[in-house]
Amino acid sequence: MAKVEIRSEFCKSCKLCIMACPKDVLAVGSKVNAAGYEVVEMKEGAECIGCASCAVMCPEAAIEVYK
């Protein structure tokens, strides 16, 4: 089982990670960061396969992937 961690201070809520994810694991959450962006987070119970497509696309290098 893999997982992604999003460093909320960098996220700009552009949704490129959501677009890149083949398993529909990510969604915009309700948490707002200091810059005013709604931070992306992993959906509850979602099955991440650790392909790192989201992290490859992220323009802010905000995503870390664990496998």
Q: Which is nearer to other proteins, 12 or 43 (CB)?
A: 12
Angstrom distance (rounded) from CA 50 to CA 61: 16
CB of 11 to other proteins, least distance (A): 9
Asked if 2 contacts 48 with a C-beta cutoff of 8 angstroms, the reply is yes
- Tell me which residues touch other proteins (CB under 8 A): 2-3, 7, 9-10, 12-16, 19-20, 35, 37, 50-53, 55-67
CB of 28 to other proteins, least distance (A): 12
Q: Tell the burial category of 22 from Cβ atoms under 10 Å away from its Cβ (0-12, 13-18, 19+).
A: exposed
